[in-house]
Each structure stands twice: as C-alpha cells, then as structure tokens.
Amino acid sequence: MVSLNKQKFFFFYPDCREVIIRPNSIEHAYLAVLDEDLQTAEKIFLSIDSPRAIWGRVLLAVFRGYLDKYPTFFQIRNFLEIDLDFLLKNEKLDYVEQVLGCLEIFADINQETYKFAARVMYVNNLLSASYNYMQKSKEIYYNDAELHFMLAQYYMRVHDYEEAYFAIKECLKFIPEYYPALQIKHKIEEMEI
C-alpha cells in the first residue's frame, strides 16, 4: 500500500494523521493516484462496482490523455469539484492541467462544469482562474443564480462593489428570496457605492 507523509497530504479532512485506508478501497485507489501509480489505481477502480469507481476510471483516462469513456452528467456534478480540489491541495498540478483540459468536453455533458471548476479555483485562492471559469460558465448558462452569487462574492473579494452589486441583483432576479444574496445586497447598499 502507498505510504505517504500524513502530515503533508490532503485527504478530505483537515488532519489526516489518523486516516485509516483499507486495502483495495476507493481511498486506496486515490492514494495510488497521489503516488502516481495509475496502474494500481485502475486495478482497484475496476474491482469496485460503484459510481465513484466508474468516475475514477474516467479520471485515469483523463490523466493518460485519452478519454475512451465519457462521464455522465451526474458523475461530473458529484465528483469533478471534489477531485479537482483534492488534486490541487495535493499539488498534483499535471493531473489538474489534464482535468482542466477536458472541461470543454465535460461542459458539453454538464453545463455547470465551468462553475464547478470556478468554485474550486476560488476556494484555493486562484482568483484569476476562478473568474475566467465563471465567465465561461456565464456564456453557457447565464440564468444560473448560483453563478451570479459566486460572481458577487468574487467581486466583493476584489473590492469591485459596483460589479458585485450588479451580480447580486442578477442572482436575486432568479431567486428573489435567497437569503445569503439578500445579505450581500444589503451589505453593499450600506456601503453607498
């Protein structure tokens, strides 16, 4: 089994020192990915019949640069964001680049793909990339209230309050009673921009 410095790697918990990984489990496959042992990861993913394992096989194909099986709408929705964040936090930048290179293909399957990537970039303080993916997402599906909420958060963070106000008003057009958006709107209005 892969042996990693548990104080350095990220495995979905703030403190991974106590994480126990069962052999031939999904977690074991992901540790093999971190160790760049894609052959072991594939063997494990193939031995497990679950949506997560099927997505894992798609992800391995992405890493290898050849998609022989496309993910489903739900696989992208359920796993893309989690795994992109996992790879970024573990500094697997080559794999991150491979995944980002497939976003256009994934967006043909799930129109929220760029929004998922944008959220990961935002959470990881990659603001320019986050903004670029939000703009791509807006081109595909403008009427996404969550996207406009994310844009408002981005603009607030970079102190562009006029754009933040516009974005939050767009969000509220689609979900008028969305409480977090109403809070941001109120906060901006108190600034008297």
Distance CA 64, CA 147 (A): 31
Residue 68's contacts (CB-CB under 8 Å, 6 or more residues apart) are 61
User: Which pLDDT score is estimated for 20?
Assistant: 72
- The pLDDT score that the predictor gives to residue 5 is 45
Structure tokens at 160: 């562009």
With a CB cutoff of 8 Å and minimum separation 6, the contacts of 169 are: 185
pLDDT in single tens digits along all 193 residues of the chain: 444 444 455 555 555 566 677 889 999 999 999 999 999 999 999 999 999 999 999 999 999 999 988 999 999 999 999 999 999 999 999 999 999 999 999 999 999 999 999 999 999 999 999 999 999 999 999 999 999 999 999 999 999 999 999 999 999 999 999 999 999 999 999 986 6
pLDDT digits (tens, 9 = 90+) for 74-85: 999 999 999 999
Alpha-carbon distances of 30 from 42, 47, 51, 79, rounded to whole Å: 10, 14, 15, 13
Please tell me the pTM assigned to this model: 0.89
pLDDT computed for residue 21 by the predictor: 77
**Predicted pLDDT of residue 22:** 86
Gap between the Cα atoms of 82 and 69, Å rounded: 20
Q: How far apart are CA 131 and CA 78, in angstroms?
A: 22
pLDDT at 3: 47
